[in-house]
Amino acid sequence: MEDFEKLAKHHLALCNDFVKQSEEMGLDVAAARALARQAANCADAGQWHTALKFAAQATAEAMSAQPRPDFPYSEPEPLEEIKASSPAGFSLSLPKPTKDIVFDRVHGGWLGKVIGGALGEPVEGWPRERIEQAHGEITGYLKKPPSTLNDDTAYEVLAIHALEEYGAGLTSGQLAWEWVEHLPDAYTAEKAALDNLRRGVVPPQSAILHNPYSEWIGGQMKGEVWGLLAPGRPDVAAEYAYLDGIIAHRKNGVYGEMYNAAVVSAAFVESDPRRLAEMGLAFVPTNCRFAEAVRRTMEWCSSTSDWRESWKKVEETYGQQYNWVHTLPNIGAVLVGLLHGGGDFEKVICITTMCGLDTDCTAGQSGAIAGAICAASAIPARWKDPIEDTMRTYVIGFENVNLTDLAGRTVAQSKALLAHHGGKK
């Protein structure tokens, strides 16, 4: 009976997550909520068998719920519809980055990703107040030596490997099978997707079936690699981010990855953080919750010189409504760090970390952007030296990765990828 109670509690939690996500997506969950309440009441009474039945029914209702007529957003899923609903149909003309800076900036992006992740990892999931109480003003690594073993980088390593295996015509399905072959485990949305893939469920259904976390930050956390692979071509970066994103994510979860990829790509030719934040909006639907969160955060950052005041607005607007792993509050942390940090590598990653939430993901993202802006050669030694140009992963066959070598592999694949897409527009 204890095992059955544990099983019922697990499915009750999943049920509540499904109902919450469906409601956030603008679906009518009134019937699902009523069934979820019945499940909770039965659980309170110790009637676990009946609680499990109502939880299953609530989940089914949530997954089949219809759109609410009062939902004010338009959040398409097919790529062509996303393009059509973006500000200019993915059109953004940028100068071609000069060849002599590409490797240094690609290396800087990888270093920034790993450094930011290592900085944020010890306080992952902490709110701002707890971080401040424990560490005060963050100015350096919180763990010495810093650990570079982080699931956030596993998918980017596999992206490079998949391109080496399949070429620039890579598909979502081909990349997904690399997950199955090389990932021993995953978390939240990626875990749900990996379980589906192992059962033979292919993208985009792998992101939908049994996955109440498909708008969480996992897509956004792995978008940088596509920007590093398409320097100065955010349109190409965003399209590859989409094919990656739909393996485990939907809607705003995918938009976050596309936005991140586009911003990193643009960082090869644009150094102003505010311009970069604006450029990324060209590659997500104009009237989606993600774009609204970006625009609001940019406004809050413009209205004060104190990053804490800007972050307070993000917390008040998104922190209570969404899970701490959700894409929307976390893009706020990235932008607060980037805009108040002014492009200064140290300030960017430290402010992002001090905001809290999914700090290894957010500091990794802002670090990759700042690293691509300033290039590896300009990242201070006190941040580079402790990680010894090495990244540890749990990806089977790629457990220890030299970042200089990885940057070289990235540049090689970048050349093939951009040639496949006709070079510079």
For residue 252, pLDDT over 90 is answered with yes
State the Cα–Cα distance between residues 338 and 16, nearest whole angstrom: 34
Of 318, 232, 313, 244, nearest in space to 279 by CA: 232
Please list the residues that pair with 401 across neighbouring strands: 391
Lowest mean pLDDT among 94-98, 262-266, 404-408: 94-98
The model's confidence at residue 1, banded by pLDDT at 50, 70 and 90, is low
State the Cα–Cα distance between residues 351 and 332, nearest whole angstrom: 12
For residue 4, pLDDT over 70 is answered with yes
Q: Any idea which residue has 């990703």 for tokens?
A: 113
Please return the burial class of 151, using the count of CB atoms within 10 Å of its CB with bins 0-12, 13-18 and 19+.
Answer: buried
Tell me, what's the pLDDT at 114? 98
- CATH number for the domain whose boundaries are 79-420: 1.10.4080.10
CA neighbours within 13 Å on the CB side: how many for 182? 23
Q: Which residues make Cβ contacts (< 8 Å) with residue 423, sequence separation at least 6?
A: none
135, two tokens: 């560490």
Average pLDDT, the chain: 96
State the Cα–Cα distance between residues 94 and 104, nearest whole angstrom: 19
- Whether omega for the bond prior to residue 127 falls within 30 degrees of 0, making it cis, is no
User: 288-300: per-residue pLDDT in tens?
Assistant: 999 999 999 999 9
For residue 29, pLDDT over 90 is answered with yes
The model's confidence at residue 89, banded by pLDDT at 50, 70 and 90, is confident
391 three-state secondary structure: strand
Are 146 and 120 a contacting pair, CB within 8 Å? no
State the Cα–Cα distance between residues 198 and 274, nearest whole angstrom: 42
The model's confidence at residue 425, banded by pLDDT at 50, 70 and 90, is very low
270, two tokens: 């644009």
The model's confidence at residue 423, banded by pLDDT at 50, 70 and 90, is low
For residue 393, pLDDT over 60 is answered with yes
258, two tokens: 């596309």
**Residue ranges covered by each domain of the chain:** 2-63, 79-420
- Long-range contacts at 412-419 (CB < 8 A, ≥ 24 apart): 413/160, 413/163, 413/164, 413/168, 413/229, 414/102, 414/106, 414/228, 414/229, 414/230, 414/231, 416/163, 416/167, 416/168, 417/163, 417/168, 417/229, 417/230, 417/236, 417/240, 418/230, 418/233, 418/236, 419/168
For residue 420, pLDDT over 80 is answered with yes
Of 194, 294, 172, 136, nearest in space to 245 by CA: 172
For residue 357, pLDDT over 70 is answered with yes
Neighbour count for residue 169 (Cβ, 10 Å): 9
Tell me, what's the pLDDT at 168? 97
Per DSSP, the residues of 139-200 read: -S-SSSSPP---GGGHHHHHHHHHHHHH-TT--HHHHHHHHHHH-S---HHHHHHHHHHHTT
User: 139-186: per-residue pLDDT in tens?
Assistant: 999 999 999 999 999 999 999 999 999 999 999 999 999 999 999 999
Tell me, what's the pLDDT at 90? 87
Q: What is the percentage of the chain residues whose pLDDT exceeds 90?
A: 95
State the Cα–Cα distance between residues 173 and 195, nearest whole angstrom: 14
27 three-state secondary structure: strand
Of 304, 306, 353, 309, nearest in space to 333 by CA: 353
Of 89, 80, 93, nearest in space to 282 by CA: 89
pTM of the model: 0.97
Angle between helices 345-355 and 99-120 (to 10 degrees): 30
For residue 32, pLDDT over 90 is answered with yes
User: 207-236: per-residue pLDDT in tens?
Assistant: 999 999 999 999 999 999 999 999 999 999
State the Cα–Cα distance between residues 78 and 84, nearest whole angstrom: 10
